Every structure is written in C-alpha cells, then in structure tokens.
Amino acid sequence: MLKSEFKDRIHAILGAGDFHNIVEACNAVMDGKWFSQVSESPDYVYDHLTSRLIATPRHIAYVKIAEGCDNCCSYCLIPQLRGKYRSRNVDSIVAEVNSLSQKGTKEIILIAQDTTYYGKDLGDGTDLKLLLNKLISSSDAQWIRTLYTHPDHINDEILKLIASEERICSYIDLPIQHISDDILKNMERIANGEEIRSLIKKIRDIIPDVTLRTSLMVGFPGETDEHFDELMKFVDETHFDHLGVFVYSSEEGTKAFDMAEQVPESVKHDRMTQLAELHEQIVTEKRRELIGREMIVLVDEVDEDNDQAIGRTQGQAPDIDDIVFIDSGDVGSGDFIKVEIMETVNIYDMIGGIVK
C-alpha cells in the first residue's frame, strides 16, 4: 500500500508490464482520479503496431525482441518485476525493423533481458538464429547488433552466422558477472569458470575479428580476496575490448539479500577501481594496435562549427562504448564512411581521417 504522504505527490502507478495502459492512466489523472495498475504476472508484449517514439538519432534504433526473464540469478529482481520470458513474433519484429528502415534507420540494435534465449518459450523452433536470418533476408538494415547475449544460451550456430554475415556486427556482448566457481554458484549462474573460458576461446576462434564486451560484478556476498585476485588475473589474461564493472547492490526480495559474508562498501568500491584501472591499461594497448587500420564508421553526429564528426565502428555500440572523432569533411549523420585510425585520445576514444 502506498503511504499517504507519497499519494500527495504521485497520481498514478503502472507496473513494468502495464505501460500499455499509460493513456488510461493519464486520462484518469486529468480527471482528478487516482490510478494504479500493477500486474502480479506481467504478460504484455508490444508489437510492430504499438506506437513508439524514437529517442535515438534517426539512423539508430533499439528493437526489443522479448519481455521478461527466466534466468533466476540470486542477485536480480527482474523476473519478479517483469515476469516470465515472452518472445515477440518474428514477423512482428521484421515489420518493425522494415518500418524503421523506411524512416532512415541504418543500425538496428536487438535487445532483451537475454537475447540468446529468444524463442525458447515458444516451443516451435523459433530462435535467435532464425530471427537474424529473417532480418538479413527480409529487411534493409545495414548493421544489426545484438546486445545481452547470455553465456549459457549462445551457441555455435549463432557465432557462425555472425562470422559469415557482414551486416551482423562482429560484436558480442557477453555479461559473465564473475569467473570464480564459488561466486558463480552462489549467483546461481549455470556456466562455471572453465566453461566461460572455453566459450570465450570458441568465440574468438569462430569470429577472429570479434569485439568482445562483458560486465563484471564485484563485492558479491562471500567474495574473498582470493576470489577477486582470480577475477583480476582472468581479466588480465582475456583482454576484453570493452568492460563494465559494477559493485554488488543488495536488493530486498532477492536470494542474495540475506546471504552471509556481505562485503563492506569500501572494499567493493576499491575492487571496482582496481578492475577499472587494469582494464584501462589493457584498452590503451588494444587501441594503439588499431592505429593505421582502415575501418568503416557510421557517423552519429556532425559538429559543423568545429568541422568535426563523431562516429562508431562495428566494434562500438552507441552510448556504452568509445567513439571515433573524424575531420568531418563532406559527411552527414547516418553516413557510412571509411576512415584510417590516426591516434588515440582519452584512453578509449580514437581519431580517424577520412579515406578518400
């Protein structure tokens, strides 16, 4: 029950699976009525007919391929908040992508809580490979990027498809969270450390030019200095292209909330800093290796006052990864251009010159 003091400031509440009732909620508030709808078991899935406002530049669009999640990680509330995994219909996704392409979208970014689980709930053979093949054959999307590929569900067929299709970005976002078997078990993740190492080797064998991103969590209950040292050594050996580090956040209602051996906040943040600094050293080396290479870049914006453009390669997802600064020349937002990487700047970002 919402406390009365909050009711004075909040006029409507919608659950994560009830946002399609936003118009009804707004109408109720306009009539001076209190509105509340929070489904205990969300089952709503939007489709290509649902109105949406594109909040990104016109040439980029995120397309959600599923709602909910069936992975029950001990630190996460998402399955409780968003319900069971619910895949969208393939034809609906293709129709949305085609509609976006007709409006000028060049890069489609597929998202879900777990994109590699796509279709498994349908039980009819639908999967991510089928969806990607359909998008390649039935849409004009020039870049297709897939985020949030779970290590337990990615397979050889998907990897081989990414390797063979130049319109699918050679970019794997693989959130592994940790490498210690003890921590992974307590997180209720399925893959153990050795399986994660083998998977990363397989990804790089099948897709030699892959850009590999991951996310790691430090300070999970029970994480000792030894567990953290193992994680540091793993990162030092693996050389991820992009890496996000998060401190464990205790969420009431999760299994991990009441676990023993909670790690002090100061220790969590110290470990996050150590990992981030290690990754900065790795990235500095990896970016220098790109100097002199010619790469295709999608221009995101043009600063005409400074005669400069900003863009990304296939190995750079918008908002979360680094960028390429370019002497703009005669280019516009949404253009694909070839650039030569000239130098690095600010550790992560690069400067490129247009190849005439």
Tens digits of residue pLDDT in 102-119? 999 999 999 999 999 999
Structural contact between residues 59 and 107, judged by C-beta atoms closer than 8 angstroms: yes
Question: Which residues belong to CATH 3.80.30.20 in the chain?
Answer: 60-288
Q: Does 45 have pLDDT greater than 90?
A: no
Sort 89 into a burial class: Cβ within 10 Å, 0-12 / 13-18 / 19+. Answer: middle
CATH entry 3.40.190.10 includes domain 294-354: no
Residue 277, phi-psi category: left (phi > 0), alpha (psi -120 to 50), beta (remainder): alpha
Tens digits of residue pLDDT in 54-99? 889 999 999 999 999 999 899 999 888 888 999 999 999 999 999 9
Structural contact between residues 232 and 185, judged by C-beta atoms closer than 8 angstroms: no
Tens digits of residue pLDDT in 115-135? 999 999 999 999 999 999 999
Question: Which residues belong to CATH 2.40.50.140 in the chain?
Answer: 294-354
The CATH superfamily label for domain 60-288 reads: tm_1862 like domain (3.80.30.20)
25, two tokens: 């909620």
Please tell me the predicted confidence (pLDDT) of residue 3: 45
Tens digits of residue pLDDT in 280-338? 999 999 999 999 999 999 999 998 878 899 999 999 999 999 999 998 778 889 999 99
Tens digits of residue pLDDT in 1-11? 444 555 567 88
Q: What percent of the chain has pLDDT over 70?
A: 97
